[in-house]
Amino acid sequence: MTIEDARAAAYVNHDWLTDEFVRLLLLQDPASVLDVGCGKGQLVRACAAAGIPASGVDQAGPRLDALIEEGVDVRVGTAYDLPFEKGEVDWITLRHVPHHLEDPPRAFAEALRVARTGIHLAEPWYDLTLPSQRGSLAVDLWEKRMDRMGGMYHAATLDLDELLAAFPADIHATHEVHAHRSLRLCDRSLPDYREVAELRLSKMQDGAAQMDSLDELFAGLEQTGLSWNGSLTVTLRKRSR
């Protein structure tokens, strides 16, 4: 197997989780959607394909430029200051974005301002009752540590309590809250992941100095095994008065 194959395997899981997220969103019958932190535009495209007016915002960069060039309805923006009026969009989505935010309460307050009906968000999730999922969390934490060494803000994923604590204290009075966990338990090959991780270190400044931490990670993974992450989706729908 090549690194490209290993990456492709990652996308099988990523795509399945994205489809699940979209499926749960469509159950809310959204009139329009704004995807905050839209990444490669998968969600915007999926909504558009379902006939739902959808747009996205993300940080400036080549990935967003490519989407704009392609004609996908995305624009530069930040979760903290959305370029939309109060109540202008029916639903706001933030998929696997909260752990990228230094100030989740501020971003969620902004989403509540712009969303007329609700907020649908997700974070990666690990079923820690399963050894291979504990391995998956260890990989996630190691990778985030490497990202932070490169200067990126990349925190641990927020669990349900942490997500809800970042909303105003009366959120249960104003919104119905539903949580859904999706996991398709699927093993991930340790040799393939080792190849991916070593390639990553080879491209990092001072990456060689992190080889010991990688060996330590793998000593744990030999015990637990490794599977792909799941996702926690939280849907907050405004209560009708």
Residues at the contact surface with ligand SAM, assessed by CB under 6 A: 36-39, 42, 58-59, 78-79, 95-97, 100-101
Give least dist CB 103 to ligand SAM, A.
9
Closest among 200, 219, 208 to 147, alpha carbons compared: 200
95 vs 188, beta carbon nearer ligand SAM: 95
Give least dist CB 222 to ligand SAM, A.
28
19 vs 176, beta carbon nearer ligand SAM: 19
100 vs 180, beta carbon nearer ligand SAM: 100
Give least dist CB 241 to ligand SAM, A.
31
Distances (CA, A) of 109 to 80, 91, 132: 8, 14, 36
Give least dist CB 217 to ligand SAM, A.
21
48 vs 190, beta carbon nearer ligand SAM: 48
The two three-digit tokens of residue 158, written as one number: 């927020």
Give least dist CB 169 to ligand SAM, A.
23
97 vs 119, beta carbon nearer ligand SAM: 97
Question: Which residues share a beta bridge with 123?
Answer: 232
Closest among 140, 39, 50 to 93, alpha carbons compared: 39
Tell me how far apart the alpha carbons of residues 155 and 157 are, in angstroms, rounded to a whole number.
6
The two three-digit tokens of residue 67, written as one number: 């989407």
Give least dist CB 62 to ligand SAM, A.
12
42 vs 227, beta carbon nearer ligand SAM: 42
Give least dist CB 16 to ligand SAM, A.
12
Instruction: Give the residue at shortest CB distance from ligand SAM.
Output: 39
22 vs 218, beta carbon nearer ligand SAM: 22
